[in-house]
Amino acid sequence: MRFGARLSKAISEHGPLCVGIDPHPGLLASWGLSQDAAGLERFALTCVEAFGGRVAVVKPQSAFFEAHGSRGVAVLERVIADLRDSGTLVLVDAKRGDIGSTMAAYAAAYLTEGSPLAGDAVTVSPYLGFGSLDPALEAAAASGRGLFVLALTSNPEGASVQRAVGPGGRSVAQSVVDAAARANAGAEPFGDVGLVVGATLDELDVDLSDLRGPILAPGFGAQGATVADLRALFGSDLRGVLPTSSRDVLRHGPEAASLRSAVDAIRASLEM
């Protein structure tokens, strides 16, 4: 089953929610854990226990694991394996982007069957040109995995690039949307190429009507975005939108039961 179909099934079973595993130092401290690979592992495996089999997608943030060196990457590999064993879709938030053989190597790491870093999808950056993602698109197609491509992010610095207008009169972000739509042409219910669009944006300024792919919407919850904000940006039908909540859930740790309760409350709010 291709990624888009697996994602549609997961949303129908668990609702449209992506929960992040972001083990940054402040959260490790608030959980009473050591600032080392052992504390990282305790944090991450508690999240796996809490979220596995309960949400549509779990999104480990690769940078916080990489910060602990090879032992941290080993923890990430275990998180990916354990979540997939639980039947939960894993989106590795690595935001990789490069050209040629380097992009092909990233694709092999995150999108190739048998790689310990390969979840079900990975975030990628198109800002070396959407065509630079071809090795990732090809690897995803071959292994039945997915991509979430940065399109419109909510950080203030992003606008100078993403909202810039190209020679054809389209914004850079719209050109990314259009390229993703071409990759998803004819797919039902979702294609395998999703977009990252910040939930805290004041306005959308892009046409998503032909996308046929999922939208990852970070910024929901602790960063300020509400269900009303999601509907204002994306319309009343949010079946293809995956709001992402990390800190709003993780602040309820370190008990797995408390994390589960937080997930249940957020999921209920999305059904309003």
Which residues carry out catalysis?
A: 95
97 and 124 Cβ atoms separated by less than 8 Å: yes
Which SS3 state, helix, strand or coil, does residue 66 take?
Answer: helix
- Asked whether 88 and 106 are in contact (CB, 8 A), the reply is no
What is the Cα–Cα distance from 21 to 250, expressed in whole angstroms?
A: 8
Q: What are 34's two structure tokens?
A: 């050591």
Give the type of residue at 163: R
d(CA 63, CA 44): 13
Alpha helices, H only, 22-99? 25-30, 37-51, 62-66, 69-85
Question: 128 Cβ partners below 8 Å, 6+ apart?
Answer: 97, 98, 99
Q: What residue has token string 């940006």?
A: 233
